[in-house]
A and B are shown apart, each in its own frame.
Chain A
Amino acid sequence: MKLPRRLRSRALAGGGLFGALVLGAAIVAATTPPADLAARTDVTNLAFDALSREADMFLGNDTAGLSSRFTGAALEGELVLQAHVQDLINQGTDYPGPLHISDQKVLSISGGGDFYVIEVQFHAVRDNMRAGKVIDQSESDVIWTLSVARAATGWRISSMDGRFAPGGGP
């Protein structure tokens, strides 16, 4: 594919790092197959959809089972997490309410074909509940790393890991 003359001339005339970057970016854009761009769009949409589902996760409303992404021995699986929250309620102690998510953005996306890894960062505020009422909040910046694979029924999240963004956690 031939690059636009303006890009070529600017890259060549610059002769420096900026010119090389412009030329490199143009080559990447020009050589990325349209199918891959479409897949990356699908993967990004899936990641943001997972975020919105996470925001809905509250007392078992996590229909996608996303809470099972954290594979810690103490809390493994959606049912365990739900039971844990129910225990907290039964004990009369505080329990986690909904998340309010904002400023979500894609940090990176890699892979190709039927498999991608995407990193998304977001800011979240969680309502903390007691006896059905919000009593205070917790606030973090979080990075999710999602492995996404194409299945017969469409794109699916095959694994998820979370960590706090630098400076945005406890």
Chain B
Amino acid sequence: MRIEVVDVGKQFGKFTALTDVSLEVAEGSLTALLGPSGSGKSTLLRIIAGLETPDSGHVLTDGLDVTRARPQDRGIGFVFQHYAAFNHMSVRENVAFGLRIRKLPKPEVQARVDELLKLVGLTAWSGQRPAQLSGGQRQRMALARALAVEPRVLLLDEPFGALDAKVRAELRQWLRRLHDEQGVTTVLVTHDQEEAMEVADTIAVMHEGRIEQTGAPRDVYDRPATDFVMGFLGPAVRVDGQLVRPHDLRLALEPEDHALEAMVTRVVHLGFEVRVELELADGRTARAQLTRGEANQLELSDGDIVYVRPPVATGAELTA
């Protein structure tokens, strides 16, 4: 399903959640809505789902205007951050729910549920209640439940936000693999830039109710359109009027043009790379990332004074 969001605006009382938001989601892609809390990404997702109605603008699926359509009529699958499991039903009954609603014949429902439980690895748990499952298992059940009705788009609202780091990492990869196999158009809301970069084909970076930039992960990271995007996608420090990434900072032992004076507060050896934590003259802290070779050359220790500048070529890249 192709999705187009056109000039959508939404307010909750005095709070403006979205302003003039437009987005195109290509058929079969995996798009991430990335941003901090309050950026409007969940609201946008819920408007696409039909769980909220925009104050202005339109939502189109495959060219059809569904702005006022109910969630039931949009052919979507939705996965919630806190699973929204039907606690009084077993895992099997949860997954079967959408199929039972459509009054499909029992054998067909049975077969489809078995297929899905196998897909998400919960076959052994089919008779259990959600309360007896771990968070990761519950979310996989929720995914199976959403996929059961063969949605044309899968919408996920911070699906891994309530899980611990290891489970999050596993499920993230698992989701990407699932998308590659099944090919369903997917929109994912997340505040974790690493997650977005790892999983998505396209990232829409949102800030205070607007989309600041849309593009492939690489583009958004290397060619950020605004300071916010740059700062959100990764660490950055302002040197000589530009925002520079830690691994782009050049350190020198002698003063140079366009270089700021800084004191080394800590040198952390992370195996293959070395992180140098710095305090600038105006009190700001910054981080530089060096290779082992570079670090050995400089022989830095705590308290040393160094001179920090952006790489020469960066200026041209940034303004492109």
Chain A partners chain B: no
